[in-house]
Amino acid sequence: MLKRTWWWRSTSPLLICATLAALLARPSRVTAQEKPQLVRTTPLFDFHSNFWVNLHQALFHEAKLRVGKPARGVQSAAPLSASGMSTQDEAQWNAAVSFYAEHFGTSQQFGPLGNDELIQINDNLAEQPDDGARLNPAALPPEIVAVLQSAAVIYRKYWWPAHNESNENWIASQEERVQSLGPKLASAMTKDLHQPWPAAPIRVDVCYYVVALGYALTTLPPHTTFSSNGPANQDLIGFELLFHEASHSFADTVMNALAAEGRIQHKDVGDLWHALLFYTSGVELRRVLPASGQASFTPYGYRYQVYSGGNWPKYRRVLETDWQAYLNDKIDFADAIHSVVAGLP
């Protein structure tokens, strides 16, 4: 069964002062007449620092470096190395990287050109024990099992302790935000997108390396792989990205509505749905922040010029007008979908 996969766009920082001023002037959507939101009794996320998923991501990262494709979605210009590494250990690790380079080096791990085997391996490894004590080969190709078992000894000896510490520190750094801001943000976003949060907590495998634009990817059934080392994945902006990734798992309603409206109006809506997810998470996170933090917060979409390439400047215009009117409770969902599509050239 093929996995449906989502990805992000990440570029350089930019502050859009006029837009932020407009966003700051928005009225609150919470009114006395609103019905109280139901209290969720299960966690929003299920965080893991899994040895096997980290090893898989590290090998894929090294493979991409080896085949000379480090520019996009690869976090380091230098391959992994360790002082005092024996010749045998180096040869054993290089053999595993060579296997990944040969089989997956020209693949993306996400998107329409992605490699479904890579994604399936990632999902299957998430079911293995986090500590890497054993590897159940039942759901994995035999050649992958052999490579992972061979590489595991080397990875554990030289790099896993530092990578695991990075992952655990990232999880700890977001724990208070997930508890205090998470329920409010999840409630707002699911209301906006007209679709509930998944019933079970979304599995998040935190890895030192994640080869994807934005250093994160989400597959369905909901499974997010998120880099603890990604330069834009830290602190409050990393918290926003986490919820952006989560929104991919409850975006069917808005995606289908935009596609249907595009057919009616004979317009190509492209990946407007994806820009809409970025925009919504940024708007709603600002709203749930304390007043002292709202003015200084720059959403990811503006901070990293998400709306600068391809058709995304056009998307930004309709999001800042028609979708923003919906987020401000000025129009309903159906009218918002119609208006954002009508606003496209």
Nearest Cα neighbor of 214 from 61, 68, 7 is 7
State the residue for tokens 């929003």. 44
For the chain, give every domain's residue range.
45-174+218-230
CA distance 19 to 286: 13
Which pLDDT does position 19 carry in this prediction?
Answer: 41
| Choice among 24-28, 105-109, 158-162 with the minimum mean pLDDT | 24-28
Contact in structure between 228 and 167 (CB atoms under 8 Å): yes
Strand partners, 47: 204
- The residues, ordered by sequence, that sit 6+ positions from 197 with a Cβ below 8 Å of its Cβ are 40, 44, 186, 190, 246, 249, 250
The confidence score (pLDDT) of residue 67 equals 86
C-alpha–C-alpha distance, residues 227 and 65, integer Å? 17
Within a 10 A sphere around the Cβ of 235, how many other Cβ atoms?
12
In the structure encoding, which two tokens stand for residue 279, read together? 């925009």
pLDDT: which is higher, 77 or 159? 159
pLDDT at 72: 66
How far apart CA 4 and CA 116 sit, in angstroms, is 9
Answer for the pair 202, 246: CB distance below 8 angstroms, yes or no: yes
Q: What confidence category does residue 39 fall into, taking pLDDT thresholds of 50, 70 and 90?
A: low
pLDDT tens per residue across span 198-219: 999 999 999 999 988 889 999 9
Q: Which residue from 186, 165, 254 is spatially nearest to 45, judged by alpha carbons?
A: 186
Model pLDDT, residue 78: 85
CA 19 vs. chain centroid, Å, equals 24
**What does the alpha-carbon distance between residue 116 and residue 78 come to, in Å, rounded to a whole number?**
27
Nearest to 310 by CA among 257, 272, 280, 259: 272
Question: In which order are the strands placed within the sheet that holds 45-48?
Answer: 4-6, 216-220, 223-227, 202-207, 45-48
Listed in sequence order, the DSSP H helices in the chain are 17-24, 51-66, 87-104, 116-125, 142-158, 160-180, 182-193, 235-247, 252-265, 272-288, 291-294, 300-303, 312-318, 324-327, 333-342
Residue 113 has pLDDT above 80, yes or no: no
**Per-residue confidence band for 106, with pLDDT thresholds at 50, 70 and 90:** confident
280-334 confidence digits (pLDDT tens): 999 999 999 999 999 999 999 999 999 999 999 999 999 999 999 999 999 999 9
Quote the DSSP letter at residue 202: E
- Global pTM exceeds 0.85: yes
Instruction: Decide: 332 and 326 in contact? Cβ < 8 Å.
Output: yes
Give the whole-angstrom CA distance, residue 221 versus residue 204.
Answer: 12
Q: Residue 11: its pLDDT value, please?
A: 34
pLDDT score, position 23: 41
Non-local CB neighbours of 312 within 8 Å, separated by 6+ positions: 9, 275, 306
pLDDT band at 115 (very low <50, low <70, confident <90, very high): confident
pLDDT-based confidence at residue 71 (cuts at 50, 70, 90):
low
Query: Strand pairing of 223-227 and 202-207?
Result: parallel
Task: Name the maximum alpha-carbon separation found in the chain.
Answer: 70
